[in-house]
Amino acid sequence: MNNIVKTIIGLFFIFSINLKAEPLDELASNLSNQIKSTQTIRLAVLNFPYIDGFDSQGSKIVQERMSTTFSQNKKIRLVERALLNKVLEEKKLEMSGAFDEKTITELGKMLGVEAVLTGTLIDVNDTDTEINARIINVETGEIMASAKAEMKRIWKDKISIPKPIFEPTPVPKIDEVKIPESNFNIETEYEDIETLEKYDEMSRFDKSEAKPIEKAERWKKFAEEVPKYKDISLKRAKEWEDYDRALKKAEELKAKKLEAMKKDYQILRRYLALTIISDEQKSEWAKKFMENYGDGNDNIYKDEISKYLPWIEADK
């Protein structure tokens, strides 16, 4: 019996050493120091999911470790795990998922806390994991404290580096379509004033706001009416036909690009609204969006997305 007890104690001692993660202690201390309140704060520690949604033991380990560390802080009162699980069950939420700001606020009020602690996990290599943590004020939704740390990964169910959670839809390059240049000067002298007047009328129509295909048709008709201008007219008609095809193709590509942009934005804005995602990660996704869709007037979301790019804010 004594041998069994000794074995159990030995295993517990070994597990405790493996679980020891000083970076988490430093992370908790950093977060605590940022809280300005002098009164005791009632806090709920939520999960720390991977940003790619992978359900890992690491989420529970980090949550448990942070709970243990914060429970030793006299300025903080933690919500019991049983109550937290009960509320999550009532709202039909899973501990392994990420919570948006609205859900976090609702959870906090149901738990009767002033703030909640949550965050995300990112594997930076095959051995280390980055932890991004935030303490959020339930009433205002403001971030009271935020910090990050890296620790050696002690769980084995997540060992590969996750792929980026947001990747813009690849879109084709759209070349600028230029209006064909024109030269209507007549080098040969003509005595037929009526023919010259018709040619002059055609040149003015060519410079009008008429559709390219209409201009092409008029030049073809003019070529039949005035044979001496046939070569010039048919050449100009072909230029307008080529321009019309290129313009339609560009407009088709722009329409597809706009459709892809709207779809990508609807996905991205949901991720940007998550308080558990770090500013650095949001900035990286915003940069990808801007690189894919550009910063011109055809990017209808550039003003909104630019808010997440610190270097653009600094230039204003």
In this structure, are 130 and 224 located in the same domain?
A: no
Kindly report whether the global pTM for this prediction surpasses the value 0.85: no
Contacts of 30 (CB under 8 A, 6+ apart): 145, 147, 149
Name the domain boundary from 124, 152, 180: 152
- State yes or no: pLDDT of 20 exceeds 70: no
- State yes or no: pLDDT of 312 exceeds 70: no
Give 165-190 pLDDT, tens digit per residue: 678 888 888 888 888 887 766 655 55
Q: Residue 79: how many CA atoms within 13 Å on its side-chain side?
A: 25
Averaged pLDDT of the chain: 80
- Give which of 222, 240, 218 is closest to 231, Cα–Cα: 222
Q: 273 by DSSP, 3-state: which?
A: coil
Q: Look at 4-13, 21-30, 112-121, 177-186 and tell me which has the smallest mean pLDDT.
A: 4-13
> What is residue 158's predicted lDDT score, i.e. its pLDDT?
58
**Mean pLDDT, rounded, for 33-39:** 77
In this structure, are 170 and 312 located in the same domain?
A: yes
Q: Is residue 245 part of a domain?
A: yes
Q: Residue 297: how many CA atoms within 13 Å on its side-chain side?
A: 0
Q: Is residue 275 part of a domain?
A: yes
What's the domain range around 251? 165-316
Find the angle CA(67)-CA(68)-CA(74) to the nearest 5 degrees.
90
Name the domain boundary from 94, 122, 152: 152
Q: Is residue 160 part of a domain?
A: no
Give 58-81 pLDDT, tens digit per residue: 888 888 888 888 888 888 888 877
DSSP structural state of residue 220: H
In this structure, are 225 and 267 located in the same domain?
A: yes
Q: How many other C-beta atoms are found inside a 10 Å radius of the C-beta of residue 99?
A: 22
Round to whole Å and give the CA distance between 129 and 62: 11
In this structure, are 299 and 260 located in the same domain?
A: yes
- State yes or no: pLDDT of 305 exceeds 50: yes
**Mean pLDDT, rounded, for 276-287:** 83
In this structure, are 169 and 315 located in the same domain?
A: yes
**Mean pLDDT, rounded, for 303-312:** 81
Q: Is residue 6 part of a domain?
A: no
